[in-house]
Structure 1
Amino acid sequence: LSDAILISAGVGGFGAVTARYPQVVDIAKFAGVIFLLGYGLQSLYASIRLSHALDVDGQVVTSLKKALLLCFGFTWLNPHVYLDTLVLVGMVSTGADSKVVFAAGAVSASFFFFFALGYGARLLRPLFAKPKAWNILDALVGILMLYLAWHLYQS
């Protein structure tokens, strides 16, 4: 839902805001580079130093309030989400013939992605019961985040 709101805001006019105030893009890029560098380095550290596995047996189910607060924090406190939805999607949408169709397609793709991610995760549960799988995932995420930070910095 948050992604749909942000995509709609980006398509609905954030492109015009960034055209009028181009420094907003620079600020968002800088924040994104810092975030991606920190996240990438943290993931690489975890891939080398930490050993963890997915073990859901016997765990206490978190409260709905805690789950929603975590979801809210991971979404709205992540500077990269603003780069993706407001800045990037907003700028790309300026070339679309129909902003409504563009927004509907982007929101639909977002819903599909997040539902596939959520429901597909259970299929990977046996794999991520092994600590080595987490180390490999952390390393790949770290490399990807550093790569994205570099390309964002270069743009």
Structure 2
Amino acid sequence: MLTGMSLIVAIGAQNAYLLRLGIAGRTTVVLPAVLVCAASDALLILAGVLGVGAVVRNTPTALTVIRVLGAAFLLWYAVVAARRVVRPSGEVLEASGPAAGPGARRVVVTTAALTWLNPHVYLDTVILLGSIANGQGAQRWWWVAGAMAASVIWFSALGFGARLLRPVFARPVAWRVLDAFVALVMLTLGIRIALGL
């Protein structure tokens, strides 16, 4: 569980997006996003334990395609977030209710893209966690269960716990600061992925 947590807690594109959704406080979109994140991690960890990590490691073309698509998507999302900083929508949270935002379908597609188009997710879950799990011998399935539980705990805490920040985001300037942070994270990751770092 601790190893799984150490790999997913770092703020990346997926976590930054989920944080933004959670702050807006719309359970109808936070729940599907949390489920996509946790289910994706579970599938990728399971794939690593079942040996897909070796296939991914030995197929550089697949990783290159994922890297190019992932970098393009992250850079596009960085531009979208930066545009919200420059031209804010006037988004403000009322203490009593959630902010308006994208629908559940769009959130699921964006969350899936941020997850599956990120080559680091394959390195972290399929290759690294899969290799560590397979080194546990007969106890590997308990190890896998712990890593999957860490994913569920983290994404649930981030998505649903972010609403505690709602008082801060009652001011429009707070959204601009958050969007600037998201744009910076997405831009940095997009460039690093594009350069293969």
- RMSD over aligned Cα, in angstroms? 2.9
The answer to whether residue 75 in structure 2 is matched with residue 34 in structure 1 is no
TM-score, normalisation: structure 1 = 0.79
Partner of 2:163: 122
Structure 2, unaligned runs of 5 or more: 1-37
Partner of 1:17: 55
The one of 66, 74, 81 aligned to 1:43 = 81
Q: How many residues matched?
A: 151
CA, structure 1 residues 140+16, in 2 after alignment: closer, same or farther (shift >3 Å)?
same
The answer to whether residue 43 in structure 2 is matched with residue 2 in structure 1 is no
CA, structure 1 residues 60+138, in 2 after alignment: closer, same or farther (shift >3 Å)?
closer
The one of 158, 175, 178 aligned to 1:134 = 175
Partner of 2:92: 53
Per-residue displacement from partner, 1:61-97 (whole Å, max 9, x unpaired)? 9xxxx64x34532333445555344443112135411
Partner of 1:100: 141
Please identify, of 136-145 and 86-95, the stretch whose mean Cα deviation from structure 2 is larger: 86-95
The answer to whether residue 113 in structure 2 is matched with residue 72 in structure 1 is no
CA, structure 1 residues 152+73, in 2 after alignment: closer, same or farther (shift >3 Å)?
same
TM-score, normalisation: structure 2 = 0.64
Structure 1, unaligned runs of 5 or more: none
Give every structure 1 segment of 4 or more consecutive aligned residues whose post-TM-superposition deviation is greater than 6 Å.
Answer: 58-61
Please identify, of 118-127 and 72-81, the stretch whose mean Cα deviation from structure 2 is larger: 72-81
Per-residue displacement from partner, 1:86-122 (whole Å, max 9, x unpaired)? 4431121354113535533331221111111133122
